[in-house]
Amino acid sequence: MDADPGKRAPEMGPYYAPDDYAGIFRRVVILVVDGLALGLSGLVALALSELLHTRAFVLGWLVFAYVYLAFLEATPIGTLGFLVTGVKVVTLKGERPSLLRMTFRLLLWILGPINFLIDLYWMTGDDFRQTLRDKCAGTLVIRKAAVPAGQGEITLKRYTLLSYCFVFYEIRRPA
pLDDT band at 3 (very low <50, low <70, confident <90, very high): low
Cβ pair 60, 45 in contact under 8 A: yes
pLDDT in tens, 43-63: 888 888 887 877 788 888 899
**Packing angle between helix 24-52 and helix 116-123, nearest 10 degrees?**
160
For 151, phi then psi, to 5°, come to -120, 140
Residue 83, SS3 per DSSP: helix
Q: Pick the residue with more confidence: 13 or 124?
A: 13
Does 157 reside within a domain? no
What mean pLDDT is reported for the chain?
Answer: 88
Query: How far is residue 175's CA from residue 167's CA, in Å, rounded to a whole number?
Result: 22
Supply the range of the domain harboring residue 58.
17-147
Cβ pair 140, 17 in contact under 8 A: no
Question: Cβ contacts of residue 35 below 8 Å, gap of 6+?
Answer: none
Residues 65/77/99/26 CA torsion (nearest 10 deg): -70
DSSP state of 68: I
pLDDT of 113 over the 60 cut: no
What is the separation of C-alpha 115 from the centre of its chain, rounded to a whole number of angstroms? 15
pLDDT of residue 6: 66
Does 55 reside within a domain? yes
Residue 87, SS3 per DSSP: strand
What is the separation of C-alpha 88 from the centre of its chain, rounded to a whole number of angstroms? 9
Query: How far is residue 175's CA from residue 33's CA, in Å, rounded to a whole number?
Result: 38
Does 71 reside within a domain? yes
Q: Domain total for the chain?
A: 1
Does 94 reside within a domain? yes
Closest alpha carbon to 153 in 17, 46, 27, 11: 11
Cβ pair 101, 137 in contact under 8 A: yes
pLDDT of residue 91: 96
Beta bridge partners of 88: 142
pLDDT of residue 123: 83
